[in-house]
Chain A
Amino acid sequence: MTETKGEGVQEKTRSVRELISISDLKVTFSSRSGLVRAVDCVDLAIRDGEKIGLIGESGSGKTVTGMAILGLLPVNAKIRGTIRYGDHDLLTAPDRTLQQIRGNEIAMISQNSGNSLNPVMKIGDQVAEPLVIHRICSVPDAHREAIRVLSELGFDDPELAATRYPHEFSGGMRERILIALALVCRPHLVIADEPTSGLDVQVRSRILRLIQSQISGNRTLFLITHDLGAASFLCDRIAVMYAGEVVECGPAKEVLSLPLHPYTQGLIASLPSAGLHPIPGMSPSPASLPRGCRFCERCPAALDRCDCDHPDLFLAEGGRQVRCFHYD
């Protein structure tokens, strides 16, 4: 991370090649309460080698964005837009292509719910599985590699651990297993969906350090989280999502120390370290989004036009983008 920044401009432009380019992404679900616009016109570029974080509260659409990249959304989702990866548009690519890419070139560290790992399969087999199905190596080699990865991720007795089942491990260990099976094929891009949810403070910091050491160098990280601390620790660049759209984007340190969008400002202010000032009100329901700026109702700096006009992403200093009329 710091290496790329320190190198010359030429190096910088080379590593600014875009790995994933999300354009105009719209994801809607039809439900009994009407049309749910989970993601509404998101444009995001993930550059090769960078560590970018997507921050938002639950319901902001960040997880849906992450899942859209790998085509993991449920069948009742209507998706529009393009997600460019190399020569492919991931939204229209055939299943076979997607399967080849998943786990191999782009991998996902799933959200650690109680059930993210197959309860009746030994974890050694589960970690070795991506290697086997992508024909990267033979089955015995795959198991050896799985054990090696497990030991790198902090398992003291990886051979024994590989014969155990998921329920025999604590939440933190299961998170490590999820990381292991995402990294085992050495993918270019790792999407991490809330890697620290449900973990206590000690375990959380260990997992974050683990992610930092494992996804370093020119591996790309796309971190999806509501945890500002995790984002500031791991990411070079941060995009903030609110009510299905990106409202601010820029270098991590600048966004977090000098937030431009009122929502981001509110988020930072609501941290314990800043005094725990919660943002009043609630985010709008994705089934009934307001016409103008979506943050208008809760915004302390709302102008008259915020109610009726919907702001675009405007350019601000330092290459930052803000979706707010104050920066028009």
Chain B
Amino acid sequence: MSRKIVLWVSIAILGIFIAVALAAPLLAPAGPYAITGKPLQAPDADHLFGTNEVGQDIFAQLVYGARITLLFGFCSALLAVVISTSVGIIIGYYGGIVDEIVCRVIDVVMPIPMFVLLIVLTTFFSPGVLQVSLLMGLLGSVHGIRIMRSQVLSVARTSFVEGAKAIGASDFHIMFRHILPNVMPLVMVKFVTTSQHMLVMGVGLSFIGMWDTSTVDWGTMIQNAYSGGGVALGLWWWILPPGIAVVGISLALALIGYSFEEKFNPRVGVNRI
């Protein structure tokens, strides 16, 4: 019973985050860059979370920053999942040489540390949030291909796929209408868990200065506050809001991911019947 409550509460929290991000212009009409108060003001009636070292409203930064952070997380996760699912289905279905080659390539590429590679690549490209998110999606898809492939294999060898072939269905039709729906549960779980990882990693990357620090997102907010002495000076309103926001959405996504995983793979879960 309580599992369902947890799931719905998490979904609600996620919904709130997304709604806030979308409604940013309504909630903070002045925008994240406007200097609306004195520097380092504690929270008051005008500024829900106070101001930062330049006098910008932290609440405004938080809601606008949500857009970037969330966009980053979901876009890269979407890309990663789309790539790993399509490639997984194609090679799992066709098998043969295509499968061999792709698997060998993955064997070679898997040990390469993606996180550091990402840092190297972005130094080279000096890109913005969107490019980094695409890159992360690309690099992150490699690991998922293996998992998708094994799931597809167990579905593709079943008799109903043979049956579909026997009545003359085209390959594309089989892959799209028969195999995909069967691996959908796994795809959904992967999307949620990947979103969580990507989102958190995105904040982390921005925290260490991956992209232009003038971009306002939760990572740069935390970085700003931390290196500006927010902790050392005890200015909790400067550093806490973005951090708690990250924790909130990360937890929500993690719990949703676990609920899904339990539903589709009951052995992993807790409180079995």
Could you list which residues of chain A lie within 8 angstroms of chain B, going by C-beta atoms?
30-32, 76
Contact = CB atoms under 8 A, between A and B. Distances in A.
A76 B273 CA distance: 7
Contacts of B273: 30-32, 76
Contacts of A76: 272-273
A76 B272 CA distance: 9
A14 B273 CA distance: 46
A95 B273 CA distance: 22
Contacts of A31: 273
A13 B162 CA distance: 62
Contacts of A30: 273
Nearest to A30: B273
Contacts of B272: 76
A302 to B, nearest CB: 35
A299 B272 CA distance: 38
B36 to A, nearest CB: 55
Interface string B237-273: 0000000000000000000000000000000000011
5 contacts: A30-B273, A31-B273, A32-B273, A76-B272, A76-B273
Interface in B205-258: none
Closest 5 CB pairs of A and B: A76-B273, A30-B273, A31-B273, A32-B273, A76-B272
Nearest to B272: A76
Nearest to B266: A32
A147 B272 CA distance: 42
B269 to A, nearest CB: 13
A74 B273 CA distance: 11
B265 to A, nearest CB: 14
A32 to B, nearest CB: 7
Nearest to A31: B273
A30 B273 CA distance: 7
B2 to A, nearest CB: 17
A32 B273 CA distance: 8
A113 B54 CA distance: 71
Interface string B48-61: 00000000000000
A121 to B, nearest CB: 24
Nearest to A75: B272
A29 to B, nearest CB: 8
A32 B272 CA distance: 11
A27 to B, nearest CB: 15
A31 B273 CA distance: 7
B51 to A, nearest CB: 54
A74 to B, nearest CB: 10
A25 to B, nearest CB: 21
B259 to A, nearest CB: 16
A115 to B, nearest CB: 15
A30 B271 CA distance: 13
B244 to A, nearest CB: 37
Nearest to A29: B273
B122 to A, nearest CB: 46
B70 to A, nearest CB: 35
A31 B272 CA distance: 10
Nearest to A32: B273
A31 B266 CA distance: 12
A85 to B, nearest CB: 30
